[in-house]
Amino acid sequence: MIEVHHLNNSRSQRVLWMLEELGTEYTVVRYERDPKTMLAPPELKEIHPLGRSPVIRDGDFVLAESGAILEYLVDRYGGGRFVPPRGTREYETCRYWVHYAEGSLMMQLLVKLYLDRVGEPAKGPLERINAAVRMHLGYVEESLGTSQFLTGPALTVADVQMSFPLEVSVVQGMLGDAHPRLKALLARLHERPAYRAALAKGGAYAYAK
């Protein structure tokens, strides 16, 4: 059975959600962040040398990196669900959003998180990163257009992977009334039974606003 090495309040929540959508059996191995540093406990390094979450173990295969994990899960257990047909433009767009989530949007949000902590001395760089985050969110809002989900009328792995940076954007006060389509998308994602079931399995998650 698949093991998900899951850290509270983390990106790993979307792996549980994906597995609930797939209806694939899994167990959760839980780790708690240090309440002061918010870092993962050292035991996570026993499953993967980087000591970050998520990590899954499927048989003797250990895989880290949330985008790679989600793509692996839909390829292996999806039977064609949660991903557009290969060879189509929608398939490539789906893959684009999976990479964009961590490679572009989340990267900006992490810089913002650290600069926010520095405070006044980082005022200039913080203004620049806020402008960059606003530009990114405006771009995602426009890209969504009138679609129900990021790659069209059905939920795909792209929506699952993008959920975390969008949720972090809400908590950081960057995603709001200027983004009615993204707010509606998040509401649509949050009301899914599989999303709710994953929350019940994962424990503390501060981003499901």
Ligand X SMILES: N[C@@H](CCC(=O)N[C@@H](CS)C(=O)NCC(=O)O)C(=O)O
Contact in structure between 70 and 18 (CB atoms under 8 Å): yes
Report residue 144 as tokens.
């969504």
Asked if 102 touches ligand X (CB under 6 A), the answer is: yes
DSSP code, position 104: I
Sole binder of ligand X in the list 17, 18, 48, 53 (CB under 6 A): 53
Least distance CB 123 / ligand X (angstroms): 26
As a whole number of angstroms, the distance between CA 26 and CA 1 comes to 6
Nearer to ligand X by Cβ, of 40 and 105: the residue is 40
Rounded Cα distance between 10 and 4, Å, is: 13
Among 2, 5, 6, 11, binds ligand X (CB under 6 A): 11
Of 184 and 204, CB closest to ligand X:
204
> Of residues 146-185, which lie at the interface with ligand X (CB under 6 A)?
none
Q: Which is nearer to ligand X, 93 or 104 (CB)?
A: 104
Q: How far apart are CA 86 and CA 187, in angstroms?
A: 28
The residue type of 19 is L
| Closer residue to ligand X (CB): 34 or 142 | 34
Look at residues 51, 34, 33, 50 and name the one whose alpha carbon lies nearest to residue 42. 51
Please identify, among the stretches 50-58, 74-82, 116-124, 126-134, the one whose residues bind ligand X according to the rule CB under 6 A: 50-58
* Min CB(85)–ligand X separation in Å: 26
Single out the residue of 209, 186, 193 nearest to residue 21, CA to CA: 193
How many residues form the binding site for ligand X (CB under 6 A)?
11
- In whole angstroms, what is the distance from residue 34 CA to residue 38 CA? 5
65 binds ligand X (CB under 6 A): yes
Q: Which of 16, 19, 28, 40 binds ligand X (CB under 6 A)?
A: 40
